[in-house]
């Protein structure tokens, strides 16, 4: 079960090192004003409602009270990442951001990303929007054990081949545009690919 606290970062999504995070001031200005977690969170929920998302869970390291609101006395978080889990047309989806140095900044970036994708639909690109979102298919929740990368790639412990080439071959079968593929298969393959590169030092 996905929870709002603590942060459940989606499998296969790369993390941004702390020293590479940007200030959320890029969103401030005369039009938008200062970034706050409450305001950015409401805008994110609004964009997801307009998208038609259901079953939303916003997962962060912000501790919540029993009424679901954040405690007011929290210090700056060392991990300001935000992951959103939702259903879109009955398919589980996930998006995440930790590019900015505050939770509010990462919520704002996700809201803007969703708004940009909705523009495809508003301008007659419904199929393009669906294809864009196919890459955000959620892997099994964190409490479910993901298959080891060797199992996903169908190779043994002693295999010494080219993982990049193997990924390209498997992607031709797993990609949702293929008859044999699906968003779930491609998401699992992407996660396994990241695991393989980490283990192999690539």
Q: Could you read off the pLDDT of 61-89 as tens digits, one per residue? A: 888 777 666 765 556 778 899 999 988 88
Residue whose entry in the numeric block shows the structure tokens 């259903």: 87
CA distance 28 to 19: 21
Q: 159 by DSSP, 3-state: which?
A: coil
Per-residue pLDDT, 125 = 58
Mean pLDDT of 40-50: 93
**Bridge partners, 117 (sequence order):** none
CB neighbour class for 146 (10 Å; exposed up to 12, middle 13-18, buried from 19): middle
* Secondary structure percentages of the chain, helix, strand, coil, to 5: 45, 10, 45
Predicted confidence (pLDDT) per residue in 123-174, tens digit: 665 565 566 566 666 655 544 557 888 888 988 877 888 999 999 898 888 8
Per-residue pLDDT, 34 = 75
Per-residue pLDDT, 109 = 94
Per-residue pLDDT, 133 = 62
CA distance 49 to 160: 47
Percent of the chain with pLDDT over 70: 80
Query: Could you give the domains of the chain?
Result: 18-134 (no CATH), 149-200 (1.10.287.110)
Predicted confidence (pLDDT) per residue in 169-196, tens digit: 988 888 877 888 887 788 788 888 888 8
Residue whose entry in the numeric block shows the structure tokens 């942060």: 7
Q: Is the entire prediction scored with pTM above 0.85? A: no
CA distance 81 to 95: 11
Per-residue pLDDT, 50 = 92
At residue 103 the predicted structure's pLDDT band, cuts being 50, 70 and 90, is very high
């Amino acid at each position: 079960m996905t929870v709002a606290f603590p942060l459940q970062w989606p499998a296969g999504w790369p993390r941004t090192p702390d020293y590479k995070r940007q200030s959320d001031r890029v969103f401030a200005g005369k039009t938008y004003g200062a970034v706050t977690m409450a305001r950015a969170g409401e805008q994110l929920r609004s964009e997801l409602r307009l998208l038609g998302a259901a079953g939303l869970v916003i997962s962060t390291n912000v501790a919540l009270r029993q009424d679901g609101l954040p405690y007011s006395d929290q210090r700056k978080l060392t991990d300001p990442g935000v992951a959103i889990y939702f259903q879109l047309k009955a398919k589980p989806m996930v998006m995440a951001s930790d590019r900015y140095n505050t939770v509010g900044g990462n919520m704002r970036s996700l809201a803007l990303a969703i708004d940009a994708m909705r523009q495809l639909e508003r301008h007659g690109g419904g199929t393009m929007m669906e294809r864009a979102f196919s890459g955000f298919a959620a892997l099994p929740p964190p409490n479910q054990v993901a298959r080891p990368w060797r199992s996903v790639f169908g190779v043994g412990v002693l295999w010494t081949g080219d993982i990049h080439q193997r990924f390209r071959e498997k992607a031709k079968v797993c990609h949702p545009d293929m008859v044999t593929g699906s968003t779930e298969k491609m998401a699992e393959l992407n996660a396994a690919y990241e695991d393989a590169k980490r283990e192999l030092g690539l």
